[in-house]
Structure 1
Amino acid sequence: MRTKPAEPEDDLPKNGEQAPFAHRAAEANAEFGTEQASRERARLVWGEESPAAAVDAPASPSASADAGSGEPEHPSARDGELIEHPLVLGGSEMLRAVNELETRDWTFWKLFEISLRSRTGRRPRTLQEIAQYVQRMLRVKPWWRYMPVGEITGADCVNLIETSFKTMPMQRKARTLLHAIFACGCRLGVCRTNPVEQLTYLYAPEQSIRALSILEVRRLLTAAQSPKHSPCAAALGLMLWAGLRPTEVARLRWGDIRLRERVIMVSPLQAKTATRRQVIMRRVLFCWLLRIAPFRPAGAPVIPLGWEKRWRALRLAAGFKQWPADVLRHTFASYHLKYFRDVAGLQIDMGHSSLHLLLTRYLGMDNITAQNASEYWGYEKELAAAKGGDPYASRF
């Protein structure tokens, strides 16, 4: 009777030692569950237990009798060569099928909800905007809500984006949001690849935005000084002479406006890019704020109640039926560079990390002359003349 040769002594675990690769076996058990759970998964996949179990099972008497029937022996048993047996390959296929079973319930809507909850630290308005984009796409293609994330392709994403949005900026933003959602799925292991990475990024041609003319600026300032629209005058001055965004002004408090230091403190919670910056308060803005709001509590907001409706009414009173986005910020940048010729200082006030965006989009100075720029930054002289002298000159 032939006996199995003993294994080398060095390969055996010593007393109190852990068997080789035991930690990997423990990790595998923790990942794929208990033996009973593995058998249940295999039964769902194969209709029976794992085919690999047939290899380890002891041979039956009938199988032993058939062994000497003259049938050719398997090559691996004959000459010791390592050949990929179909049953061995079936083990990897089983793991793939098990993964499909575990990810079958991961629909697009479920992945979107988890990715939205993972965006910690985002403002409620940002989360609401993301949800609005996704809900608009689901209104166009409602079945996307129930699509398994593993079956979504790049072509599906292209069709969804182009059908839901017609303008290039909105399509670019929708692509960015979908990319973030599927990136979350890749991190969780429910997506093998990100289907949005197959799409070509949409580059919109940079277009220079026209700044307001000096006459249009005067119409805005005149309307803001009327009793009906005066609650919006301070916010108008901050956007016009400090270049603040409307969303930044809406989050600003009077305590952030340092009249003694003549700076405006924009915190990361108030800024669009979540970066801190200090904006220099020019003389015209200083005089405007002292005239419009000589005293306000430090914790009070700069904007009045019903800001959106009041701000729209002020623009209509000034004759603006159409209002380009961030036009006051573009106006500030154009008049600033025309008058002060200080690109570095303008970059700091605008809060830009580089000069590329500033030089390509924010400088629409075609309709601005040197005299217009002088009137823009010297408007406090007209305020002083209207009141018979400059009552704020001693404050400088």
Structure 2
Amino acid sequence: MKANAWPLIRKRKNPGGSFAWMVDCGMVNGKRTRYIFASKQAADTKGQQLRVQRVNEGKSALSISAPDRIDAEAALAILKPLGKTLREAAEFFSLHVEIVDRKMLIEELVRELLENKKRDGASYRYLKDLKTRLGIFAAAFPAHEVIAFSSAQLDDWLRALPVGGVTRNNYRRLLGVLFNYALNRGYRLTNPVKATSRAKEIDKPPGILLVDQSERLLESATPDIVPALALGLFAGLRPESEVWKLDWSSIDFESRLIDVAADRTKTAKKRFVKIADNLVQWLLPFYQKSGPISPVGDAYFTRLQKARTAAKIHSWPADCLRHTFGSMHYAHHQNLGESMAEMGHTNPQTFLKHYRERVKPKDAARYWQILPPSAPGKVVPMVAAPGT
């Protein structure tokens, strides 16, 4: 073929009857490339420009050093199955070179995440969970760069954990938080956790305490944590988000109500919780006009652990004080709406799934008669507001 045979230049008739000149370059980088001009002179000029460009590109290719040519051929072999060109790869790399060059280690990412979550006001329990689980993960990959993790690598690590399905999925959830943070901060291009597998979980109702265990726990606790435990068992308040933030001024003995403000609830919704007869007896000896009701942080958990040990309660299911309240309240009162309102629930199906038929009514009746050792009898009278 003659040198000027490419590109092909030919006359074509437009749908309206006029004529134009087409410069047909054939397939260029996998795409059919054509140019349309109104005159043959313009088409010839374009054709000549393309011929000169092709010659120059050929000469440029000959000037590439042998190592660069070998490198380019290897890169093209990698890119061909992906349908991408060497230029596209170079342009993509130039946009993300900072991510590739940033040598952040996984332990550094965990530390940064914890610091920022603390600044964001994350709860004590959530921060402790993050620190514990992600600390175990970071220890398993010392000196490992954040960008180097693959979904397969994370999947293998999760499957190797000697834990049940629920715990494994909890690890997976927190790893998702970690790598999503890395993605948002520009430390990675993807979140590899999304492609990992969830473990099958056996659907079990929340764990609760038995009546005797609840009584032993309160009797074994030190005085400074008794009100907090009583509020969990007999009012269903969450320890960290509600009890820790509760002030004695929010306890209204006259109205027999606890004012749980919106900023002290997990759902950010205000609610009033009734003070049961036996709860009055547990709270009254410690009543103050104002001030915190409970120790917080490690001080709370240290005292809780001592009480559990003294009460010989070895198994401690998550949020078992609140779940015990929900199960005992519904079994005793048999009033779905009232039990849901006390706990701040909005979904009847979820509530019934968790709390219906967990305990027998006769055991629930015993539960609501749990009183301090010094309390007189089982019948608790209405109590006027202290100081009146």
TM-superposed deviation, 1:244? 1.9
TM-superposed deviation, 1:190? 5.6
Distance in structure 2 (CA, Å) of the matches to 1:342 and 1:99 = 61
Contact 1:136 1:164 in 2 (8 A): no
Residue from 101, 105, 120 that aligns with 1:105:
101
Contact 1:211 1:364 in 2 (8 A): no
TM-superposed deviation, 1:71? 3.2
1:202 corresponding residue in structure 2: 199
TM-superposed deviation, 1:364? 5.6
TM-superposed deviation, 1:136? 1.0
1:235 corresponding residue in structure 2: 228
1:374 corresponding residue in structure 2: 365
Give the partner amino acid of 1:194.
N
Post-superposition CA distance 1:20-78 (Å, at most 9, x none): xxxxxxxxxxxxxxxxxxxxxxxxxxxxxxxxxxxxxxxxxxxxxxxxx9535543788
5 Å-filtered alignment, 1:317-332, equals: 317-332=310-325
Contact 1:243 1:332 in 2 (8 A): yes
Distance in structure 2 (CA, Å) of the matches to 1:74 and 1:327 = 80
TM-superposed deviation, 1:241? 0.6
1:132 corresponding residue in structure 2: 132
Deviates more, 1:172-181 or 1:162-171: 162-171
The alignment's C-alpha RMSD in Å is 3.8
Contact 1:140 1:164 in 2 (8 A): no
2:24 counterpart SS class = coil
5 Å-filtered alignment, 1:246-265, equals: 246-247=239-240, 248-265=242-259
Per the normalisation by structure 1, the TM-score is: 0.66
Distance in structure 2 (CA, Å) of the matches to 1:105 and 1:376 = 62
2:101 counterpart SS class = coil
Contact 1:234 1:289 in 2 (8 A): yes
Post-superposition CA distance 1:194-224 (Å, at most 9, x none): 3222223334222134543333334344445
1:330 counterpart SS class = helix
Residue from 161, 164, 168 that aligns with 2:165:
168
Note closer, same or farther for the CA distance 1:394–1:383 as it changes in structure 2 (3 Å cut).
farther
Residue from 89, 92, 110 that aligns with 1:93:
89
2:341 counterpart SS class = helix
Distance in structure 1 (CA, Å) of the matches to 2:127 and 2:312 = 34
Note closer, same or farther for the CA distance 1:207–1:121 as it changes in structure 2 (3 Å cut).
same
Distance in structure 2 (CA, Å) of the matches to 1:72 and 1:189 = 50
Deviates more, 1:329-338 or 1:195-204: 195-204
1:54 corresponding residue in structure 2: none
TM-superposed deviation, 1:276? 3.8
**What is the aligned length?**
316
2:224 counterpart SS class = helix
5 Å-filtered alignment, 1:47-196, equals: 71=3, 74-75=6-7, 80-81=23-24, 83-85=27-29, 90-106=86-102, 107=104, 109=106, 119=117, 120-123=120-123, 125-144=125-144, 146-148=145-147, 151-164=148-161, 166-187=163-184, 191-196=188-193
Contact 1:384 1:391 in 2 (8 A): no
TM-superposed deviation, 1:337? 0.7
Note closer, same or farther for the CA distance 1:287–1:115 as it changes in structure 2 (3 Å cut).
closer
Gaps of 5+ in 2: 11-21, 31-56, 58-83
Give the partner amino acid of 1:327.
C
TM-superposed deviation, 1:100? 4.4
Give the partner amino acid of 1:197.
K
TM-superposed deviation, 1:171? 1.7
1:142 counterpart SS class = coil
Distance in structure 1 (CA, Å) of the matches to 2:127 and 2:90 = 40
Relative to total residues, which structure has the larger strand share, 1 or 2? 2
1:325 counterpart SS class = coil
Contact 1:211 1:330 in 2 (8 A): yes
Contact 2:243 2:294 in 1 (8 A): yes
